[in-house]
Structures are given as structure tokens and as C-alpha cells.
Structure 1
């Protein structure tokens, strides 16, 4: 790499960013060290000690990268920061929107710079960013508006499960440490203009005019797609459409990235060069390619500004402008250095970009195309029956364009597969087929038309609607095509989350595999790497399917219940799926349970047990039933007309999952050495008897006891006092090592008589952080403490894992 020193320095800088994410370096000593190293470096250059210089300069960049990242990962919080004034009650806050509101289908997100906190008689000046979520659709607020609201604010926090999205860190890298929620936009008022940048205010004014024009066009289908591709606003895209694009490996099309910018640059360059070639004088006097490259920068910048120049759009704009400048200075052939330059600029402006999935996918896909495409062409040229110059031969048969696009799609898919699997748990093996059709359609037609619409709105408002409707028709055709591609067998599938070691092994294997003819040892190293990969897979398969222990994990799902039971020798059961503490748009199965299962290398769940059909227990089971090869679902037989329950039953029927109704008369079942007993509900379900409907559902919860040799666990659902009175008749059979506390620690449950019969050594409370019910109740906590039970809570401990061989017992907390 020494003939490309920029690449070496970039790698050093990126390593520094990674180091700075975990290690704090004091600024003054580190800057002193950097200065000393630079002096030594200059001395080495003067003395012609090249070896020492080659070592020192990368070290300097590692230290610089660490300091840059420390600014984000270890920020200095001022004494008047809003995060230091949080209370368990509403706070009267004034602030200004530092970004345009982000509109979603059922809520809005406001990004607010806090300015003041009001008390009864005065106010305190404060600083800090707030992410405020507002229920309902739509918002009249704009960038720069000064607002005031009363809200109970919290520090951003995660659920606390292995494999879960690190939401608090994601916000912290943006400088956001405080979040809040308002039920409607009526609870926040605009009080005037706040502090804002005049330039960005002007840009946002243009964007607002475009947004209003699109929204006011009557009966415009695919409005959300056009707004996504023109304004970068993806929040209004229907979930079904979003899922279809994800399944077919086309999710990258919906978010403006380097791909969109590249097509704008390509189309603009073709048009500009075509116009310039009409003048013979210009052809003779100027380098048409360089002039076209310079002029192409302007439509690229225009598109970037219209798209809001958000983080991902800014990165894409910098990348494309860097490549255009490379053409102007005759460096277009040195694509690796050009790519490195773009990466350098982006990570200096925003060091946290290195952790952003769009940054990773953009650069890795381009790198894969640059590196792998020539390798593929070389190996294809060696195939017998094909001419040495493979590309022209193929293009004569299937067309130059199609052959190139197929090859580019395959190399980009191969290069990004581990990253996509890590972040999205998807692998699109046949994703190159939809890409061949949809990417050119979007890139050459829909996106340029979007940009043309933006221009026409300002220069010819009467013509703009014509182009808008045309673009909508073409976008509708693309959406329909994507829907058809979802039925393509094997287009994509879910995968477990690869470890960082597995990702590293994959990339090393690809590098050495494609260099077996260049490097003498490459073939043997590739074989060794392949053996390690196979060994890694074998290890996980053995660990998950031939384990001897019973392993139970109580997941943190907010105000709800969910637990994974891993029986010896690989059988698995999920008891409840959580999901009631959030609106229906938040799928706890997709966003909490599934990521945990994939992180644990679990692709199959044998049994689902729904204790009772309340949303905080059943909603998350829908995604699991659909995607994890479930064989049986156990219920108490009680049904409801609730939409989420009906959807679950529809999935059960469609997937051919066996329905099993259980009650107190169900015979004990043995699952790989673990005895499973059902203690509730009774044959005649609780109903009436002075109970409201909710209490009858709670009291009919399936109560199940697992016994593995000397250790037992009791899962109680949401049973209340009435059910507990019947359960105490079981006497000593109730006694258990562990109890999943009934009804989240409610006073309507957990009677002293019942707890006396169970007498647990460990008690697990499945509750949401600062939930509105005040669970667990203090009196209930005291009852367990009086029994000397060791208590755990999912709101403060995160996921709680209990492992036993039937005799010994250990507990692991995630937080």
C-alpha cells in the first residue's frame, strides 16, 4: 500500500476512530504526544530514516482518530444541560427546532435545542438536544420554529437485551441524551422564530414549497415514494412497501445514497456532454470530459440540498463530488485513492459515520465492485469455451449493459452481504435479479424526473403536475414489480447475526480466494480459512442442539412478558411475546425477540405458549410464528376479536402450526428431560363471578411449571387473586425455585398465601421502565423480600438468563 499512502493513513485513522469508541484519551497529553511524534517524523525525514517515518505517521493518525471519536463517545456535559434537570414529572421547556420534523405514518419526531426550563416564578437557561416524539400524523412546525411544551423527559435508554439495537448510543452519537413523548401536536405550541441558520432556513423554504406542492396534488398514488426519492423523507412509506423492498434486496433504493447521486451525476454528465459536443469550437478548445465533470457538480449539489443534505445524503454528495473532482485533476483512474479521499472527508466531518450502516454499505459496495469485478472477469476468461476477452463476447449475446450490471450487482451483493446480515439479518442471494430491473428504472428515470419536478415547480408550475403524475405512474410500476419479485423463490431469507470474527473470516476468505493465482500461499490460506468457517458453524450447531443444560431468558420487552426456554438438546419454547406498551406500529417480535434469537444463533422455535390473549403478551408472537418454523402453539382456548389476536391465528393457520389447548387437566409433557405441568386455567374458564372482562382474561392465564431434576420454574402469566386461590389448593406442588411474578407485580396478584406456597428462591419481575401502572408495587416487593427471595427486574437488569444443569444454578443479568 505504500504507493498509495492515503489508504494506509485512512486505515490508521479509521482504527483510531474504533479505538476512540471504547478508550478515553486525555486531550492535552495526547496532543502533546502527537506533536512530539510529528517532530520525530520530521527529523526522520531530514535524516532519511524512511522506515521510522513509515511507522510514526500512521500512529499519529490513530491518535487523531481516537481524539476525534472521543468528542462523540465521551462528550463534556455542561452543568446546565437539560439531562441534569430531569424529574419524575412534566417539565416546562422552551426550545427551537434545529432540524425539520421527521414525519412518520402515525407519529412525528421533533429535534429540539433546549433553551429554557420554566418554573412557577422564573426560568433557567439550559442547553442540550431533545428528541420529542408526538403521537398522530402530521405537524405544522418547521425548522427554526421556537416552541414550548410540558413533558416528562427521560434519558435515552435501551431495552437491555443481547442483540438489541443500541438506541441510546445511536442518539448519543448525534448529541441527543434526552427524549420525551407527547400524545398529540395540541400539547406543543409555536411561540415564534428561534435561532436558525439563514442559509439552511432558505433551503428548507424551498423544500417546504416542493413538499406542499406534492402533498396538494389530488389523488396522487405513490406520493410517499416520490417524497422519499426527492426530499429524502421515508417516514410515510407504507410498511408493506418497505418490507417488499427489503425482502428483494432493494431497501437501499428508498434512502437517498451514493447510488442516487451517481445516477444524477451520470445523467447530467451525458446531457451536458451531448450539449457541448454541438460546438466544434468547444470541442477543440476544451477538454469536454473535464468541463462536463465541473458542470455536473451543480446538479449533484442541487439534488443534495433539495434532499435536505442529511447525514446520509451529505456523505453521498461528498463521495460523488470527490469522484468528479478526480476527473478534473486527471485522477479518475486511481479509484482507490479517490474512494479513500471521500471516506477521509466524510469521517473528518462526522467521525461517527463509521458506525452508520449507510456509510458502511456505500463504501464497501463500491470497494467490492472495484476489487472483485476485475477478478471475476479474469476467472471467467479462463473458462474453456469462452474467449479470452470475456466481456465483449458476453455483451454480444446478452448485451454489454446487462452483462456489466449483473456482474456489478453480484459483486456489490457479495461485498455487502456480511454487513447486511449483521444489521438486518437478511441475505438476498438472488437480489441481483430485482436490482437489474429496478435500479436502472429508478436511477435513469424516476430520480431524474424527481429532480426535474423540483426545478419545474419554480420555473413552470403549470407543467410540474404533468411530470409529477408521470413520475407517480412509473414509481407505481416499480412498486408493483418489486411486489412481484417477492414471490421469486429464494430471493432472500433471514439469517442469524454473524459475529465480528465471522465477518472478518468471510472477507479474508474472499480476498485469498480471488488471489490464488497471484499469491503462492493464497490457496492454502483460503483452505485454512474455509476450515475455520466450517468449524465455527459446527461449534454453534453443537452448542445450540446438543446442550445439556436448561436455559431460561426473561426478555426485557417493556411493559409486557416474554421468556425463551432452551431445553436440553435443542428444543425451544417462547412463553408470551410482549408488545402491549407500544402502539401497533412497534413490533416487539421483529425488533426485540427476533434480534435476540438471531444473536443467539437460533433459527427455529418449536413451541409458542400464549398465556392469555392480551396485547402485552401476544403481539410479539406474530413475527415469531411467521418466521421461526414453529411447530405448536399452546393457548388456554380463550379467543378475542382483537386485531392482533386474529392476525396471530391467521399466521398460525397459514404456517400450518398445530394448535394445542391446555388447562389443568392437560397431562404432564416431557421435553428432553424437563417435565412440563399445566396448573391453570381450570377446565371451566373464569368468567362472570363479579369479574370484569380484563380480570377474567388475566385469571385464565396459562400457569406452567418446568421441572428439571432439582430445579423448577413457575410461569404465572397475569393471574390475579381469584386464580391464586385455586392454585394454592395444589399445596407443595406449587413450590418452585424461580417464579415469574404474576401480573408484573400488581397488588391484585401476589397474595401472601400464594407466595407462601410457592416460596421461591428467585423472583423475576417483567416490567416496563417507569411504567404508568407503578409496577411492581412496593408492597409486593416487600412480600418477596420477607420470603428471602432474590428479586430481579427486566426494567433495571435487562434480560435475565438462568442456567441450570438440574442441580447447580446461575443467574446472568445483561445490564
Structure 2
């Protein structure tokens, strides 16, 4: 059974790697043929030898086409392109816990009825509400039925190397469109609570959250990211109104109902760096612990009555009680993948106890794995899926079938060692970092959080009692203080490049070898299997070559240029909200995955949010030798950099045989205050032999004419990042003719409000013979060039998945995965 489920899982995973969905008719035929071959095989020796192969192929094919069938059904529930950005009136239910963002709420909405004639809306969508001009906002709660006027768009996210796939997340969560509530539309609450068990649970979760926040968090701190709506605030006494007691309301909320969004970013960073972030959600350990308490309580109570014992054995009754407690907690927590895995394992164990059967731990884990994938084939896209099942698998691997039982303290130490070593490959593969203090942090955090904080939090939240929440907050304060002390130690986190896939496989084999039972010979050889993940570096450009990534950051600009021994970041994209920007969401993960651990230079072209939004985060997290910019001398960013300089015409340098030259602005322009920031943008040309890239930032017509007067002969380029995102205020005819790019790149946001790029500007570059690229359609543009070759990769095309459809409503230019221009040196 375990082998078949494992191959079924592989089949489901393989489907999620496909660019297009397979033909289900062919798929059904393949499954039938394999099944028939397995059933009707003769008993010859070679056929018996082939039986395991047939069984594996059948299980893998079944998983593959099973996932394909459900993917086809889910993709069919789509928003037509013609209805993007249009007003649509709908009636539906707030399906999940609303979450606070900077200017309102964000929530999942189940559409029950579409009032706008001929409009088609997916059954489940993601909506945002925004504050009105007077500062008020919609008072929306989970489980309520509302009528909204909404504007939607199809799921679309940025596509960059080592970046979060927003479109995959939307598909996994059955969200087939996202948008916002039109503030001037016909918006009204119809019912305070829609009748449905799921909606009732979500409403209960919100009440629990409000109670915890009202008890442990006060809005008097203007810097707190926890905002409690006025209708949920209660005065509970001065003893709670201190920053220390307010500080962990978000953590307690996450532990009670799984709302991790309530945890402030600064705290989450500490938890991640110390390796205890898995505890700040509803983990399998928490559910198992509470289920065990439920079993013990049920067993004690049932045995008190002879009549009850005659009706049903106490062990079976206690098993049912423990399962119900675990299921209730998992439902209250939102029933994520770790919770699902634990509940299904507990259900299997409960069934075994009821049937008086014996089942191996591996079979229990396999049964839970199968149920998770049957209900949610997209679970394999979630890091939590692999970490959750991987962690439990490691626990079984190091504890099951051991000949001599160990003291509980020795067992606990062995498990900590197994988790620390065993999770290195998946953590490096998915996040490119591991906490070096994780074993120490988990040694005290696991018992403190799981056996003190969680029970007290649930006691206070479940019975609306204040003192358990206060005690839980104090215990969390102690835990956090110890974690902060660990975090202040030098080099607490190992950060590196993304390991090659083959090195991760070898690393996992090394882990299994290293964790063999005591007495197994040469276990230390397993450490050798871990080395390739650390030692094998990603490919870097040779001397005289350049690797360039024009990131997809939405409506903004960020470009990374890498030579053999140096790296430059040109602009840093936009700021999204108070806790998210292009730096921490896109650039740092991408640069880290590419193996760029430090920057020799950061060039911030001018003072616009869509170019400077991630700069502060970059300077705080990546060592940077110098900052070059056109920013004012008193700009806050200049105070963060180790060395600063103004970018100006005639600045040149050479890195590893690659030539860099600043063409604009002039030194004299800094004395003229009336020049627009856009026209003082730093313009950079990077050249290798006959090929070059011209980065023009946001210059407009005036700056273009100045460039034509001073550097007309230097403007010809192989690839041009089009000025000002293709705005009509830029790209005059003479500038287009002088640059005459083979490739013209428009860095624009999907359905941006500015209408970039302008149709007339697009026409000019097309008539000039340029190949037109767009970040909203093509994702990141990856360029590799040297004196002879010039190649361009469109990341959205080269890493396409079936949930990444061609974007409609955008002009269809010639497309290819990789283009190559070869030019021989004279």
C-alpha cells in the first residue's frame, strides 16, 4: 500500500509541473490498459518480475490523470476576460476570516448569485475593501451575506526566478478571480449569518480572534500592526494595558485559530531566524497534544460509570473523544495541510483502535497522505505539505522498530537532532536558508508553546476567560525574550543560493544514511551527501560576459546585472504596503536563489516609489558597497548606505571585461531645481563587445533630446528598457531611431491604471523592427550576453505551468522561449 500511495503522489506532483493539461480520454485508456495488464498477467517468472513495475506505473498514472481531471474542472470556473475591470453586482457570503490590510479588509467571498445580466463570475473570489474618503470602512464579518458591486480581474502575479507563485496559490485555494468592492456601488448586508456549518465555524473563529485581541491588545500603540475594530474593543483593566502584555496578541491568535497574518512582521522574522516559526501556527504537535488530553479526559470520565463501560469500552469512547477534540481544534484553525495530515492520521489510529487491528506507522502516514491528495491535489505545491509530511516521516524513521527503548529525554534529543539534520535539504531547496540555532530554540520553545501557551490560550479563548490569556501572554513573553537573545548571536542563519535539484536528492539520501540506527557502520558518510548542496555553486558568467535579469515587479523597475565577480542592482521596484515591498517579496529571494549574496553597487535612478520602494529593505539585508543615485542630499536612503555618490554623465567603470557607463544626468543638472525627478533619472549603458543593454529608467522627452545631443552615437543598443514604462511622455521618434533596439522591454504592471504602454509608443518600436517584450506578459526577462552571443529568456514562458494561461487583452507580439542573436567580432 505504501509504495502505491508514494507513486500516486509522484503522479500528482508530475501533473503540477506540466505546461498544458493532458487529454483525459487518453489518460483513461492508459489507466485501463495498465490495470488490465496487472490483473490478467500470467504467472511466468518475467511477468511476476514486471508486476511491481506495472503497479507503480498504474499508481503514478492514476495520480497524474486524477489531478488532471480536477485541474480541468477548476480552470473551467474562470472570469471571462471581457468582464475584467467592469462593475458587477453579486450576492454571496464572506466565506473566511476577514484580514486587515493597510487601508481596509481582505477576505474570501463565495458568490451565490450574479445580478448583472450576462456576467459570469467564479464561485469563489478574493475581495478587498478600502476605506472611504472620510476614513470609515465596511464593517464586514465572516459568515455574513452581502450584496456588493465589485470589479474583478483574472489571477495574475509576478513571475521571477525563485519567486512566490501567486497564481498557483490562487488555484490551490480555489480562488479564480480577485478584485475590490466599488465604494460607490450598491453595497449592503443582507444577513448577519448565512446558515452553513462552514460559515458558522468561520464566524466563530472571528469571535475568538476578536476576544483575544480585545483582551490582550489595545489600539493605543500607533506603531502596532494589530488593529482592532471599534466594535471589538473592551476595557479589561490597567494590568493589561502595557506594551509587554499587548505584544503577543497576534501570536495567541495564530495559535488559537491559525491566523498567522495577525503576527507582526518583526516577530515573524525572529521566529523564522530562530527556526521556531512552525510552532506559531496550528501544527500537528499541537493538535496531537490536545487530542491526547481529550483521550485522557474521556477515558477518566467513562471509567467512572459502570453503565457507560458496559455500553462501550472506555478505550473506544476515549478514542472518539480525542478524535473529536483534535478535529474541532483543526477546524477552528482553518484546516490547513498540517492540520489535515494530523486529523487523518488520528482518524486512522482511531479506526485501528476501534477495529482492534495493528497498523504500522508508515501505513498510517501513507493513509493520511492519500486522503490529503484525494481532497486537494494542489497540496503538493505548498511548502507546508512537504515539511509537514517530511517531519512526521523523519520521526517515524528514527523512532520506529528500535530494539531498545530510550529514556524520554534521550528520545527528545534524538528527535531534535533528526529534525535539525533531516529538514536541511527541503529548507535549502524552498527557502535557501536554515537556522543554525534551531535545535536550541526548539528545545525550550516546543514544550513551552505546546504545553503552556497553547492550552492556556484555548482555555481563555474557548471560555472567554481573561486570566489564562494573560498567563499565556506572559509565557510567550518569556519565550520571545529567549528567542531574541538567540537572534542577537552572530551568524544565527545560514543563507545561500538555491541548490541544484540533483544535490537535494543526494542530500536526502545522505540524511537517511546519517540517521540509521546506532551500530550501523560508517553513518558519518551521510555527511558527505549533504556537501554538494553547499559547495556546488550556481553557474556564473565567465570573463567578458553579463547575466542580466529585468524583474517582473509590476508597475516599476528593478534590474540585476551580474558579471563573474561583481553584481549591480539598478532600481528596486515599488513599495506595496507597510510590510511588503519588491525588496522583501521579490528581489531578496531572487538574488539569494541566484547566488548573489552581496552587491558591489546599487543604483537608485530617481525618487519615485516604483523605483525606490525596495531600496531600504535591500540596504538592510544585503551588504552593499556603494549607492549611486540622483536623490536629494537629505534623502533618508543615503543615510543607510555605507558609501554614496551621485550618478552623472561620463562615469565609467569595468567589471570582469564588461563596460559600464552612465550617460545621464549631467553634473550641472543638480543645480537646477525645476528639473523633474524623471528627467534626472540615471541612464546606464552596459556593453560587452558588439552587444549592449541600455537602461533608461523614467526619462521623458526633455532628457531624451539631451541624450541625443550629447551621446547620439552611444545610444544604439541591442536591448532597451523603454523609458518611463512606455509612457506617451517618452520615446520620441528620434530617440527610437537612435537606439534602434533589437529588443524593447516594457516594464509594466498587469492592467495598470496608467494605461502603459501607450499604443503610439508601441507602434514606434514595432515599426523600428524591435522585438517587443513586456513584464506583465512575459514575466522576468533574463539576458545572457558576451562579445558574440546575446540570448533572451522570457521567464513566464520558459517556466510555464497549466495555470499560467496566455494573458488576454495584450497585443500578441512574436513569442519564443529563448531568442539568440549571434554576431561575430570583426
Question: Does the pair score TM above 0.5?
Answer: yes
In the aligned structure 2, how far is the partner of 1:697 from the partner of 1:548?
34
The within-5 A match list for 1:265-276 is 265-269=291-295
- Aligned-residue RMSD, C-alpha: 3.6
In the aligned structure 2, how far is the partner of 1:696 from the partner of 1:728?
18
For residue 417 of structure 1, the aligned residue among 424, 437, 446 is 424
For residue 250 of structure 1, the aligned residue among 276, 283, 304 is 276
SS at match of 1:511: helix
For residue 443 of structure 2, the aligned residue among 436, 445, 452 is 436
Pair 291,166 (structure 1): closer, same or farther in 2 beyond 3 Å: same
Map of 1:110 onto structure 2 = 107
Checking the alignment, whether the CA contact within 8 Å between 1:44 and 1:52 is kept in structure 2 is: no
Pair 249,187 (structure 1): closer, same or farther in 2 beyond 3 Å: farther
Map of 1:386 onto structure 2 = none
Output one character per residue of 1:118-170: Cα deviation in whole Å (capped at 9) or x when no partner.
44xx4656543221133469863344433333333211123222222221122
SS at match of 1:763: strand
Pair 114,276 (structure 1): closer, same or farther in 2 beyond 3 Å: closer
In the aligned structure 2, how far is the partner of 1:418 from the partner of 1:135?
42
Unpaired runs of at least 5, structure 1: 1-5, 379-388, 393-399, 458-463
1:20 aligns with 2:4: no
Question: Which segment drifts farther, 211-220 or 235-244?
Answer: 211-220
In the aligned structure 2, how far is the partner of 1:570 from the partner of 1:183?
51
Map of 2:223 onto structure 1 = none
In the aligned structure 2, how far is the partner of 1:209 from the partner of 1:143?
9
For residue 735 of structure 1, the aligned residue among 715, 718, 722 is 715
1:56 to partner: Cα distance: 4.1
1:609 to partner: Cα distance: 1.0
1:238 aligns with 2:261: no
In the aligned structure 2, how far is the partner of 1:485 from the partner of 1:188?
53
SS at match of 2:446: helix
For residue 616 of structure 1, the aligned residue among 610, 616, 631 is 610
What TM-score does the superposition give when structure 1 sets the normalisation length? Answer: 0.84
In the aligned structure 1, how far is the partner of 2:682 from the partner of 2:487?
38
Pair 428,538 (structure 1): closer, same or farther in 2 beyond 3 Å: closer
Question: Which segment drifts farther, 757-766 or 238-247?
Answer: 757-766
SS at match of 1:812: strand
Map of 1:598 onto structure 2 = 592
Map of 2:820 onto structure 1 = none
Map of 2:249 onto structure 1 = 223
Map of 1:66 onto structure 2 = 64
Map of 2:125 onto structure 1 = 130
The aligned length equals 759
1:465 aligns with 2:460: no
Map of 2:222 onto structure 1 = none
The within-5 A match list for 1:374-389 is none
1:258 to partner: Cα distance: 0.8
Pair 390,603 (structure 1): closer, same or farther in 2 beyond 3 Å: farther
Question: Which segment drifts farther, 171-180 or 436-445?
Answer: 171-180
Pair 723,390 (structure 1): closer, same or farther in 2 beyond 3 Å: same
In the aligned structure 1, how far is the partner of 2:619 from the partner of 2:744?
28
1:553 aligns with 2:560: no
Map of 1:482 onto structure 2 = 483
Question: Which segment drifts farther, 761-770 or 268-277?
Answer: 268-277
In the aligned structure 2, how far is the partner of 1:259 from the partner of 1:175?
27
Checking the alignment, whether the CA contact within 8 Å between 2:95 and 2:199 is kept in structure 1 is: no
In the aligned structure 2, how far is the partner of 1:280 from the partner of 1:96?
51
1:285 to partner: Cα distance: 12
Pair 209,176 (structure 1): closer, same or farther in 2 beyond 3 Å: closer
Map of 2:647 onto structure 1 = 662
SS at match of 1:774: coil
For residue 716 of structure 1, the aligned residue among 683, 696, 717 is 696
Pair 680,167 (structure 1): closer, same or farther in 2 beyond 3 Å: same
Output one character per residue of 1:757-796: Cα deviation in whole Å (capped at 9) or x when no partner.
4343432222212211111212222333343333322222
Output one character per residue of 1:599-639: Cα deviation in whole Å (capped at 9) or x when no partner.
32332322111111222112223333333332222123524
For residue 662 of structure 2, the aligned residue among 650, 667, 678 is 678
What TM-score does the superposition give when structure 2 sets the normalisation length? Answer: 0.83
1:448 aligns with 2:455: yes
In the aligned structure 2, how far is the partner of 1:704 from the partner of 1:614?
17
1:367 to partner: Cα distance: 1.1
Checking the alignment, whether the CA contact within 8 Å between 1:97 and 1:110 is kept in structure 2 is: no
SS at match of 1:96: strand
1:634 aligns with 2:628: yes
For residue 92 of structure 2, the aligned residue among 88, 92, 96 is 96
Map of 2:231 onto structure 1 = none
Map of 1:798 onto structure 2 = 779
SS at match of 2:96: coil
1:230 to partner: Cα distance: 0.8
In the aligned structure 2, how far is the partner of 1:445 from the partner of 1:687?
64
Question: Which segment drifts farther, 424-433 or 136-145?
Answer: 136-145
In the aligned structure 1, how far is the partner of 2:297 from the partner of 2:659?
74
SS at match of 1:685: helix
SS at match of 2:741: coil
Unpaired runs of at least 5, structure 2: 216-234, 236-240, 797-826
In the aligned structure 2, how far is the partner of 1:256 from the partner of 1:149?
33
1:443 to partner: Cα distance: 0.3
Pair 182,284 (structure 1): closer, same or farther in 2 beyond 3 Å: closer
For residue 587 of structure 1, the aligned residue among 577, 581, 586 is 581
1:229 to partner: Cα distance: 0.8
SS at match of 1:317: helix
